[in-house]
Structure 1
Amino acid sequence: MAEEPIKIFRQGMPLFSVFQDENRQQIIMLLCDHKSLTVNQITDQLELSRPAVSHHLKLMLDAGVITFKKVGKERYYQVSLDETFQYLKDLTTSLENSISSN
Structure 2
Amino acid sequence: MEKERTLAAFAAVMPAFAIFQDARRQQLMTELCCKEELTVNELTATTSLSRPAVSHHLKLMLDAGVIKVRQVGVERRYSPNLAPVIAQLKELTTALES
TM-score (norm 1): 0.89
Q: Which residue in the other structure is 1:17 paired with?
A: 18
Runs of 4+ in 1 over 4 A off after TM superposition: none
- Percent identity between the aligned chains? 52
Q: Partners of 1:83 and 1:9 in 2: how far apart?
A: 14
Q: Partners of 1:83 and 1:41 in 2: how far apart?
A: 25
Q: Partners of 1:13 and 1:55 in 2: how far apart?
A: 20
Gaps of 5+ in 1: 98-102
Q: Deviations over 1:36-88 (max 9, x none)?
A: 10001101111111111111101111111110110111101011111011000
- 1:47 matched to 2:48? The reply is yes
Q: Partners of 1:36 and 1:55 in 2: how far apart?
A: 17
Q: Which residue in the other structure is 1:59 paired with?
A: 60
Pick 1 or 2: higher relative contact order, CA cutoff 8 A, min separation 6. Answer: 2
One-letter identity of the residue aligned with 1:15: A
Q: Secondary structure at the match of 2:38?
A: coil
One-letter identity of the residue aligned with 2:59: K
The alignment yields a C-alpha RMSD, in angstroms, of 1.2
State the aligned residue count: 97
Gaps of 5+ in 2: none
Q: Which residue in the other structure is 1:73 paired with?
A: 74
Q: Which residue in the other structure is 1:28 paired with?
A: 29
Q: Partners of 1:87 and 1:12 in 2: how far apart?
A: 6
What is the CA-CA distance between 1:12 and the residue it aligns to?
1.8
